[in-house]
Amino acid sequence: MSLPDNFFEGVSHIFWDLDHTIWDFSTNARLTIFELYHKYDLGKKMEHPPETFHSTYIRNNNLAWELYRKGEITKEHLRQRRFRDTFSELGTEPDSLCHLFEKEFVELCPTKSVLIPGAFDALTLFSKTYRQHIITNGFKETQAVKMNTSGIHHFFETVTNSEDTGYQKPHPMIFKIALNEAGASVENSIMIGDNYEADILGAHALGMRCVYFDMHEESAEMPEDGIVKINHLNQLLT
């Protein structure tokens, strides 16, 4: 879907999600997983190649994050289970190795700097006209590292984190807090994100215009009024 000609009319604030929207979590996590797999010579500890270890981890991580967003598990539980479940599923006793992987993954992955294609160009173009902000459910201690390492921190005036606010997207309070911190209103703001439920429906419920970034064309849902869907961030450059 193309952006309507008047979609940005009256807009002065752009709110972005970070992971999967700007910062390429999938690529950076893959690089980190492969690095750790070879560092600890997992090929001798399991019968599965790094590709299988990576895909199993991603599935378990996504499941854990979904439970975390729903408030069904804590941050600590999320970090305890995603590698533990991966090692167990692949027939390897997790023991202390899963804790080591979790520790090093959290330290190493945020230092990777791959961005979603078109993200830097969109941020650069928008910086000439709009005030830009981040609203993230990601862990506070890693999000700043990601933005600094990838060279995008300077684009954002405010960063609203779920850990600081006590609310996770799509809860309306995290959007209200972000708007207040930015000195913005729903009328002069746009939310851009990849998660239809958390980023888009959460912001849209307050009356914000939204850009749904559906890079992998995973959603068959038709966007509601006030929501446009794009498949590449370069579509924002028009």
Last residue of a domain, one of 111, 142, 173: 111
CA distance linking residue 27 with residue 19, whole number of Å: 11
The mean pLDDT value for 125-143 works out to 95
Could you tell me the two tokens for 62? Answer: 């996504």
Domain count, the chain: 2
pLDDT > 90? residue 46 = no
The answer to whether residues 136 and 214 belong to one domain is: yes
Q: Is the peptide bond before 4 cis (omega within 30 degrees of 0)?
A: no
Q: Using 50, 70 and 90 to split pLDDT, how confident is the model at 219?
A: low
The answer to whether residues 93 and 34 belong to one domain is: yes
CATH code of 152's domain = 3.40.50.1000
The answer to whether residues 107 and 127 belong to one domain is: no
The answer to whether residues 175 and 160 belong to one domain is: yes
The answer to whether residues 86 and 126 belong to one domain is: no
pLDDT > 90? residue 118 = yes
CA distance linking residue 72 with residue 163, whole number of Å: 15
Owning domain of residue 156 = 13-24+115-237
pLDDT > 70? residue 194 = yes
User: For the chain, what is the mean pLDDT?
Assistant: 93
Confirm if 232 and 117 have CB atoms less than 8 A apart.
yes
Flag whether 4 is in a domain: no
The answer to whether residues 36 and 20 belong to one domain is: no
The answer to whether residues 126 and 217 belong to one domain is: yes
The answer to whether residues 164 and 138 belong to one domain is: yes
pLDDT > 70? residue 195 = yes
Flag whether 87 is in a domain: yes
Q: Using 50, 70 and 90 to split pLDDT, how confident is the model at 91?
A: confident
pLDDT > 80? residue 93 = no
CATH code of 101's domain = 1.10.150.240
pLDDT > 90? residue 238 = no
> What pLDDT sits at residue 140?
87
User: Which of these, 107, 132, 110, 111, lies nearest to 120 by C-alpha position?
Assistant: 132
In this structure, is the dihedral angle defined by the CA atoms of residues 107, 81, 95 and 32, taken in order, positive or negative?
negative
For residue 158, the cross-strand partners are: 133
Flag whether 7 is in a domain: no
pLDDT > 70? residue 94 = no
> What pLDDT sits at residue 92?
83
Last residue of a domain, one of 95, 111, 127: 111
> What pLDDT sits at residue 233?
97
The answer to whether residues 87 and 183 belong to one domain is: no
Last residue of a domain, one of 64, 80, 111: 111
The answer to whether residues 19 and 105 belong to one domain is: no
The answer to whether residues 141 and 94 belong to one domain is: no
The answer to whether residues 100 and 132 belong to one domain is: no
Q: Using 50, 70 and 90 to split pLDDT, how confident is the model at 2?
A: low
Could you tell me the two tokens for 103? Answer: 């520790």
pLDDT > 90? residue 216 = no
Could you tell me the two tokens for 155? Answer: 């684009």
Flag whether 55 is in a domain: yes
